Structure 1
Amino acid sequence: MKSKHLFLMLSLLFVLSIALVACAGDGEPEETTDENDSAEEGSENEEAAGSGGDLVITVPSDVVSLSAQGQNDVPSSNVRENIYETLTTLNDEQEIEPGLATDWEQVDDVTWEFHLQEGVTFHDGAEFNAEAVKKSFDRLADEKIASPYVFLIEQVESIEVVDDYTVRFNLEYPYAPLLANLAHSGTGIMSPTIIDKDYEQLEDGGDVDEYINQNPSGTGPFELEDWSAGESVTLTPYEDYWGDNAKLDSVQFKVVSEQSSRVAELETGVTHVADQIGPNNMSRVDGLPDASVLQSPSVSVSYIGFNIEKEPFDDVRVRQALSMAVDKDQIINGVMNGVGIPAIGALAPPVFGYDDSIEGLPYDVEKAKELLAEAGYEDGFETTIWTNDNEQRVDTAVALQAQLGEIGVDVEIQELEWGAYLEGTANGEHDMFILGWSTVTADADYGLYPLFHSSQQGEPGNRTFLADDEVDELLDEGRRETDPAARKEIYTEVQEKLVDLAPMIYTHHQEYLLGVSDSVKDFSINAQGIYQIKDAYIEE
């Protein structure tokens, strides 16, 4: 069957040519209608609209945390986004829309008020109101929690309860990406009950999120049924959901680490959706009589990072040399089979702040050798590169090993389990590593600040451990500037500075590749890499 290509890139580029803050409007929700509102259970109307089924999605890695404020990784986010909800949301065009907040008002440059949905309850029965919002954000800002998402609200000085369904955000300074940041799953509102109980177990010597990981409770359309660590997570619809109910009977995120095994399960009908099938399996999936490839652009970047705190990567000449010794086209065409857009920096084309005039370091092996010699490594050196068990990342490591060998750099490849990989790179135990970053707010602040600001070293995102005063100053300035044109100029300067500092090799902006059974209807994946399953169902 022919691939289902989601040609979203042009629309994304059009919308994001203006600042996200300008897209927010007055925060008024759009009217929606539900075709099934008047349909009785089991009626012909409901059958026509479609509903039901137990959806199985095979994923390469297990979730790390079920706390909205836990580990910042896509496998965890894909589950959590169905459990928790945020005050604002981003639609397919990356425009800001209402979520748990019905509308909002900017009182002055540093004060925002949000009016909340009424009649909403958490999965554990607790009431959603202004007090619950305040408690969730206060926990996010708590230094004892040390959430990797705290940078999303660093500019928030305090949150006030105005009345039962109104909260006021008091900012330290004007902050343009606020509404976009509040759409990030890391700001998802958690039940005040689980927050209190997690604090209680923390005081008794437990770990942060220990209670919440076993008892997640949000306001989302799905709630946790079961989490068998290393095997699967199963969600079921929340019957008292405040919006239109989910159509599926359940959804299981099943861990199958090997790409070929995920495709095999799709072939045999064991699974309905196979994530990250890889470019090499596209024709295999498209050749199936009852499934096809779902291909979608992203706001993410794939990169090879250097640990700048370790020799010899503390020398910028070494980092530039290795960057110039890598043939990105070979990686895109050889490893990715041509699927992906060459990257010149961390920001993908649809992201606000992207500048296509920036020129990255060229591919120049001879110049790379000269730089190594200048740095005192004329004969090269030995190093290691870490990757998790993602097949394309492993293949990228193999390609890199061969290319760097041409300039005398002997690279040993070390493959780690996903959780250990995240922990090790957050702790700075690596030399080089292969990873990716999704700019889920579609704003340069999120695409650059956590990756390169010195305050974000480790788990929040800066796993290269870059610390540069000029970069920090520019990133701080970009957060405070509210004029879109001035912000773009700032982020252009940041990106040009990062070309010279070379903390990482930006290989490509990926495209998501999934195998989807023809029986699955209304399923998609957004530009942030998050499955859209609320309206999905299985047609028998």
Structure 2
Amino acid sequence: MNKRLGLLTVVILSILFLVACGGNVEKKDSTAKDTLVVAQGADVKSLDPHASNDNPSSRVRVQIYDRLVQLDDNGVPQPMLAESWERPDDTTTIFHLRKGVKFHNGDEMKASDVKFSLERALKAPEIFYIIEGINGIEVLDDYTVKVTTEKPMAALLNNLSNGTIAILSEKATTEAGEGFGQHPIGTGPYKFVSWQSGDKITLEAFPEYWQGTPSIKNVVFKSIVEETNRTIGLETGELDVVYDILGMDKVKLREDERFTFIEEPQLALTYLGFNLKKEPYNNPKVREAISYAIDQKPIIDTVFLGAAEPANSILGKNIFAYYDVEKFTQNIEKAKALMAEAGYPDGFKAKLWVNDNPVRRDTAVILQDQLKQIGIDVAIETLEWGAFLDGTARGEHEMFILGWVNTARDPDMYELVSTSTMGAAGNRSFYSDPEMDKMLAAGKIELDPEKRKEIYKEIQIKIRKDIPMYMIAYPLQNVVTQKNIKNFKLDPAQEHTIFGVVKE
């Protein structure tokens, strides 16, 4: 009896196992065709485009929202939600909107939504500076909006292409209130489904998207801090697309024929920032000493494995008005002399903040070793991405490593060095200089390209002199995909769009 029962149990379990396996395989095949799983190194801070300007958030939001204009591969503004525009004078732009564009809640986008969105962005502490200078937004009819500026704005169209200046539904945003960032609604190719904080965000294709229904039905963005775990996920097939692979994992994946490896330039800068509100970083000689203590080469060779260029300016070489300012070359004796002049002949203890990003952590270790040569004893503190952004916005840090992506592809670096953007808006060095503010204002309104170029040359020279930050590198960017992923294109501003990507 027991033997028969045992045999029967084995048979039943075997059948259940086969059925279960068959069911799982069928489900996996279906999911594989319909779902794209993307991994990046940090979680999103907010899905409200007006609430933050960080890169991990932007990469998800660009799937959910559209802007009035977009930039082509050469950085030239092209139609998006605005199908055309005209400039009757230097301070007026009239936008003609596409008809029939739907929000994810089914409502048609109208000029009133554009007015609401731009006015909301102008009030947002984190991103207002991007379109600061607009002093009038008028609805002429349901599909026409007139935007006026206080003075000429040379980069108006470029700035309106920024992912944070997304067009929102006035009705949906107002109804959601403070919860909009967790339940976003846009006009983009994908609509929001769910967000498991610290784990993943799920999106699904919007069938009424004005450019056509996306070929991939579901997109999942996973937050995986350690790049080795992202690599393992790619190797096991759990992940389809992985951003930002560096170190030995990059070397391994680049040579692996199972995957497609793409590496290209980007509009980014990695820098070491100083909190000028705190001693001793408010002493320019200390900042200069630190700059002369640093050697970029081991950082680029070891951390970036050569996939970066040493930086010298706040602007990258692929940005209009870049000026080749004099680089700091490591000179330990000069650095020590500057430390003595500043009143710190024996050095001091310092704290260096990084977020949980292996590239920045490894960079910090090299800087720690280099600054030790001039008596600065650096303690590295690693924070979760959201805590890092909040803490540096409040000015709780001393030194920090961060990146800046020039999404507008314009020389205006107002975000990083203007008095009015200190804190959350981007100036986490808390650098404030009246002369700099005047130069930035002049650069914004100058329409003559050559005169504008000269203004930004002087700005770059002044930044080199004042040293609110030390420019480390212009890194390349990369993406690794499974072989069956086609048409994936890296965006120079790192706002990679999934629309148009095919999974075979």
Tell me the TM-score range normalised by the shorter chain: over 0.9
- Equivalent residue number for residue 375 of structure 1: 342
SS of the aligned residue for 1:532 comes to coil
The one-letter amino acid of 1:220's match is: G
- Equivalent residue for 1:295, pick from 263, 283, 294: 263
SS of the aligned residue for 2:164 comes to helix
Structure 2: which 5+ runs fail to align?
Answer: 1-31
How far does the alpha carbon of each residue in 1:177-222 deviate from its partner, in whole angstroms, 9 at most, with x for none? 0000010111100111122224xx4xxxxxxxx3212221111111
The one-letter amino acid of 2:190's match is: F
Structure 1 residue 70 displacement after superposition: 1.3
In structure 2, distance between residues paired with 1:300 and 1:289: 29
- Equivalent residue for 1:363, pick from 330, 336, 342: 330
Asked whether the 8 Å contact 2:313–2:323 carries over to 1, the reply is no
Structure 1 residue 73 displacement after superposition: 0.4
Is 2:476 aligned against 1:511?
yes
Is 2:83 aligned against 1:102?
yes
Structure 1 residue 287 displacement after superposition: 3.3
Moved more, 109-118 or 242-251: 242-251
Structure 1 residue 280 displacement after superposition: 2.5
Size of the aligned set, in residue pairs, is 473
Structure 1 residue 169 displacement after superposition: 0.4
- Equivalent residue number for residue 226 of structure 1: 194
The one-letter amino acid of 1:410's match is: D
Structure 1 residue 52 displacement after superposition: 5.3
TM-score by length of 2: 0.92
- Equivalent residue for 1:419, pick from 386, 389, 407: 386
In structure 2, distance between residues paired with 1:478 and 1:401: 37
Is 2:128 aligned against 1:150?
yes
Structure 1 residue 326 displacement after superposition: 0.4
Asked whether the 8 Å contact 2:354–2:383 carries over to 1, the reply is yes
Asked whether the 8 Å contact 2:312–2:471 carries over to 1, the reply is yes
Is 2:148 aligned against 1:166?
no
- Equivalent residue for 1:325, pick from 266, 269, 293: 293
Is 2:196 aligned against 1:196?
no
In structure 2, distance between residues paired with 1:369 and 1:152: 40
Asked whether the 8 Å contact 2:46–2:182 carries over to 1, the reply is no
In structure 2, distance between residues paired with 1:214 and 1:506: 35
In structure 1, distance between residues paired with 2:388 and 2:187: 31
The one-letter amino acid of 1:327's match is: D
What does 1:399-410 correspond to in 2, within 5 Å? 399-410=366-377
- Equivalent residue for 1:486, pick from 448, 451, 473: 451
How far does the alpha carbon of each residue in 1:212-263 deviate from its partner, in whole angstroms, 9 at most, with x for none? 1222111111101111111101111101111122111111101111010000
TM-score by length of 1: 0.86
- Equivalent residue for 1:138, pick from 102, 108, 119: 119
In structure 2, distance between residues paired with 1:134 and 1:52: 40
- Equivalent residue number for residue 3 of structure 1: none
Is 2:356 aligned against 1:389?
yes
SS of the aligned residue for 1:75 comes to helix
In structure 1, distance between residues paired with 2:227 and 2:451: 44
- Equivalent residue number for residue 111 of structure 1: 92
- Deviant stretches of 4+, over 4 Å: none
Structure 1 residue 135 displacement after superposition: 1.0
Asked whether the 8 Å contact 1:279–1:339 carries over to 2, the reply is no
Structure 1 residue 514 displacement after superposition: 2.1
In structure 1, distance between residues paired with 2:436 and 2:161: 26
In structure 1, distance between residues paired with 2:401 and 2:261: 25
Asked whether the 8 Å contact 1:53–1:537 carries over to 2, the reply is no
Moved more, 311-320 or 511-520: 511-520
Structure 1: which 5+ runs fail to align?
Answer: 1-50, 202-209
- Equivalent residue number for residue 48 of structure 1: none
- Equivalent residue for 1:278, pick from 232, 246, 264: 246
Asked whether the 8 Å contact 1:194–1:211 carries over to 2, the reply is no
Moved more, 94-103 or 289-298: 289-298
In structure 2, distance between residues paired with 1:228 and 1:449: 34
SS of the aligned residue for 1:185 comes to coil
SS of the aligned residue for 1:495 comes to helix
In structure 2, distance between residues paired with 1:94 and 1:508: 22
What does 1:62-73 correspond to in 2, within 5 Å? 62-73=43-54
Over the aligned positions, Cα root-mean-square deviation in angstroms equals: 1.2
Is 2:212 aligned against 1:244?
yes
Is 2:227 aligned against 1:259?
yes
Asked whether the 8 Å contact 1:197–1:211 carries over to 2, the reply is no
In structure 1, distance between residues paired with 2:255 and 2:328: 40
Structure 1 residue 479 displacement after superposition: 0.4
How far does the alpha carbon of each residue in 1:485-522 deviate from its partner, in whole angstroms, 9 at most, with x for none? 00110000000000011111111111112221111111
In structure 1, distance between residues paired with 2:55 and 2:415: 15
SS of the aligned residue for 1:86 comes to coil
- Equivalent residue number for residue 497 of structure 2: 532
- Equivalent residue for 1:460, pick from 415, 425, 430: 425
Structure 1 residue 294 displacement after superposition: 1.4
Asked whether the 8 Å contact 2:293–2:335 carries over to 1, the reply is yes
In structure 2, distance between residues paired with 1:164 and 1:534: 27
